[in-house]
Structure 1
Amino acid sequence: MRDTLKIGDEFTFEYVVDANKTVPNLYPESEEYRKMPEVFATGFMVGLLEWCCIEALHPHLDEGEGSLGTFISTSHCAPTPPGMKVTVTARCVEIRNSNNVFWEVVARDELEVIAEGRHGRHVIQTDRFLARVDKKKQTLERSAA
């Protein structure tokens, strides 16, 4: 990772909540989920917070690098119906060992704050990570045989 990212750097990301990002769609095979209100699901909201941080970090990565979410601590304090715009702001608050980046995140819909928290991402060498995943798959395949 380049040394261009600085503590205090901010990034803003906007997303309009689609009907397929509501609670009943999170695990549609679950009868209990299907009975829940059609509002932005916490699981999808966490993904949106990560997406904002992925976009914020991307310009600071070297060729062949990517990032993985390694930490999330967030509230989800207000419902958002489909069709509302959510704006996420990520502020870099910590960089550890030049490859672990932590962000304070805040998400607001058009009326109020819907989430606040902290997210961590680990910068990886994509090819090395994929080799590790392949090795794990092969181990599983051998043990199943």
Structure 2
Amino acid sequence: MADEQSPSPLSNISPGLEFSETWPVGRFEPQTIVDGVDVVATPEIIGCMEGTVRDAVTPHLPDGYRVVGSEVECDHRAPTPAGGEVEVTVEIEAVDEENDQVVATATVTDDAGIVATGRMQHAAVDRETFGGSVERRFAELSAAGPE
């Protein structure tokens, strides 16, 4: 979170910001439906949505910051063939500078129409500070050993 002395890392981002990106799909765990018909799995669709939010927001963040996902909703409405492409359009819905949170909506389309819609929340984090948190968490997990 931004402290009283410094502005939020999200201060250059406003609701209404839109960004679109095209993604190749079906490279990660395509789902075979019948007789070799492969479709894109929901986790890959979510990854495309998350990546598009990251690419939309990152250029507006101060050096050393990035966004990390904290919440995601996805309505995967229609199959799309593995090996094709989808276009993801995101729009920033809300910016909470006090808590360094941004909420975005996404629409995923292929040549036949809407594939999925979603809503995601991301936190803006200082890479160095967040990296330290990740290292501490991994050390805790390692010390705990397998169950």
| TM-score where L is the length of structure 2 | 0.82
Identify unmatched segments of 5+ residues in structure 2: 1-8
Moved over 6 A (4+): none
Kindly indicate which of the two structures has a greater share of residues assigned to strand. 2
**2:41 maps to which residue?**
41
Q: CA 1:87 to 1:136, structure 2 compared with 1: closer, same or farther past 3 Å?
A: same
Q: CA 1:39 to 1:97, structure 2 compared with 1: closer, same or farther past 3 Å?
A: same
Cα-Cα RMSD: 2.3
Kindly indicate which of the two structures has a greater share of residues assigned to helix. 1
Contact 1:86/1:108 (<8 A) preserved: yes
> Per the alignment, in what secondary structure is the counterpart of residue 134 of structure 1?
helix
- Counting aligned pairs with the same residue, the percent is 24
Separation (CA, whole Å) in 2 of partners of 1:116 and 1:7: 18
What amino acid does structure 2 have at the position aligned with 1:72? V
Alignment deviations for residues 3-45 of structure 1 (CA, whole Å, 9 cap, x no partner)? 2211111000111324445126xxxxxxxx9x99510110111
| 2:135 pairs with 1:134 | yes
> Per the alignment, in what secondary structure is the counterpart of residue 66 of structure 2?
strand
Contact 1:79/1:114 (<8 A) preserved: yes
Q: CA 1:104 to 1:140, structure 2 compared with 1: closer, same or farther past 3 Å?
A: closer
Separation (CA, whole Å) in 2 of partners of 1:3 and 1:65: 13
How far off is 1:121 after superposition? 0.8
> Per the alignment, in what secondary structure is the counterpart of residue 82 of structure 2?
coil
Separation (CA, whole Å) in 2 of partners of 1:19 and 1:133: 28
Choose 106-115 or 11-20, whichever is displaced more.
Answer: 11-20
**1:86 maps to which residue?**
86
Counterpart pick for 2:14 among 2, 6, 17: 6
Identify unmatched segments of 5+ residues in structure 1: 25-32
